[in-house]
Amino acid sequence: MRIKEFVKSQKYLYRTAKWLQTRPVYYFYKLKRTLSFKSESINSSNAIRITKDKSHCFFGYYDKCPWNLSGKYLIFLQVPFADRMPKPGEEAQLGIIDVSNGITSPKQEILTSTRAWSWQQGAMMQWLGSNPERQIIFNDYEHKKYCSKIIDLHSGLKRILPLPIYAISRDGEKALSINFDRLHFARPGYGYVASTCKNLHDNYPKDDGIWFMDLKSGEYKLIISLWEIINYQKKKIFDQSFHYFNHLEFNQKGNRFIFLHRWIHRNIRYSRLFVANCDGSNLVCLSDHGLVSHFTWRDNEHILAWTRHLAGDHYYLFKDKSDQVAIVGKGILTEDGHPSYSPDGNYILTDTYPDKERMRSILLYDIKRNSLKTLGRYFSPFQYDGPIRCDLHPRWNRNGQMICFDSVHEGCRAMYVLDVTEKI
């Protein structure tokens, strides 16, 4: 059997097994809810929708802030469909939402378009740290190559940079990049489809990996190759595995960054958690037990991550360049989500994946009191599943008084804002 046919057969069997596992359970709970004659809404919270009706709008990942410095604008993407993967060449419209008159009176404006976008992480669009009030950086595809662009709200297009960005430092001077074609092949829904990856035959190429780019000069260089990372405490299965990088993030100072080294072996994905200097030196592996999911920096030295460790699967707080590690929210934060610290560092915001009733929750964990609040629960229809799913991906605004999230509980992709001033 050819490799492609085998992969397709495995995916079909996986989807069939997942359907048999989840659908009957969902319909049982739906019938149970109906027979109980409950009157409360299936979705609970006072979140305000800030994107227009009958359009599919979203922001993307949880590790970026959609608000500009003053809080007047939020960035968003808009697409005409939401029930399938994008095709090569299909564009997403990039715009801003003006909430200067309040979140109940938003105004949308389209600025430009991009062909480098994904359902889970958008176009990596964010406000540039060197001018977070009026400049936006995002990824695009032109002249048969991925790139990143900086636009100014007042003057329009400002610059085109030679590499797409995955992460940028808070001061807006440094960027990290990876191979988004390879990421799409390994993890559909995260990478881009505008072009085709050319080195898929190589499990760990020497000329592919993590690039550092100076956002002022546009100069870039490969700092950690896939070949280099597999030779760091190399495992026996590495030669027979497909390797790639994902989830890069600078610390607050911008002198260290965290990333995942992932590999696929016999259709199973494994992960290791690393931290390195901006030039790729001083490489440290913080977690190497096979599973690492989502993470966030608490400060310049500590990283919160959902991972497998000696005590099982939990949120762990790691200290960079040391063996110090501790469980966070034991018995309270009991499942994987997309975590981030509040600007004052007193709270952890996270979410959940769909439960048996297809409900997702947004959670607020009070670190000092060791207590948890549910900010809202939102229904996730079956048609939004797999690579085209819509995770909530909650994000703080800059003063920690509001959060923004994506959801499909009203039948289409939309962005919502929730005021949390009375919750903290």
Looking at residues 356-364, what average pLDDT do you find? Answer: 96
Query: What is the percentage of the chain residues whose pLDDT exceeds 90?
Result: 84
CB of 289 closer than 8 Å to CB of 235: no
12 belongs to a structural domain? no
Looking at residues 212-227, what average pLDDT do you find? Answer: 98
Distance separating alpha carbons of residues 219 and 244, to the nearest angstrom: 23
CA dist list (Å): 88 to 117, 172, 183 = 10, 30, 15
Residue carrying structure tokens 């007042």: 154
362 belongs to a structural domain? yes
11 belongs to a structural domain? no
21 belongs to a structural domain? no
Looking at residues 46-51, what average pLDDT do you find? Answer: 94
Q: Give residue-wise pLDDT tens across range 144-157.
A: 999 999 999 998 88
- Order of strands, edge to edge, in the sheet holding 347-351? 340-341, 347-351, 359-366, 371-379
Three-state SS for 25?
helix
Q: How confident is the model at residue 28 (pLDDT cuts 50, 70, 90)?
A: low
23 belongs to a structural domain? no
Three-state SS for 21?
helix
Q: Give residue-wise pLDDT tens across range 108-152.
A: 999 999 999 999 999 999 999 999 999 999 999 999 999 999 999
CB of 175 closer than 8 Å to CB of 165: yes
How many domains are there within the chain?
A: 1
312 belongs to a structural domain? yes
Segments forming the whole domain that contains residue 266 = 40-419
Name every residue whose Cβ is closer than 8 Å to that of residue 335 and which is 6 or more positions away in sequence. 352, 353
CB of 213 closer than 8 Å to CB of 175: yes
Distance separating alpha carbons of residues 48 and 145, to the nearest angstrom: 38
Contacts 24+ apart (CB under 8 A), 342-345: 342/396, 342/400, 342/424, 343/396, 343/398, 343/399, 343/400, 344/400, 345/298, 345/299
For the four alpha carbons of 403, 404, 407 and 409, in that order, the dihedral sign comes to: positive
Q: Is the pTM of this model over 0.75?
A: yes
| Residues forming a β-bridge with 296 | 304
198 belongs to a structural domain? yes
Q: How far is CA 252 from the centre of its chain?
A: 18
229 belongs to a structural domain? yes
- Order of strands, edge to edge, in the sheet holding 156-161? 126-127, 135-142, 145-152, 156-161
CA dist list (Å): 23 to 175, 356, 386, 392 = 43, 9, 14, 21
Identify the CATH number of the domain in which residue 283 sits. Answer: 2.130.10.10
Q: What is the pLDDT of residue 158?
A: 84
Distance separating alpha carbons of residues 93 and 72, to the nearest angstrom: 20
Find the Cα–Cα–Cα–Cα dihedral 185, 188, 192, 198, rounded to 10°: 10
Find the Cα–Cα–Cα–Cα dihedral 9, 11, 17, 20, rounded to 10°: -110
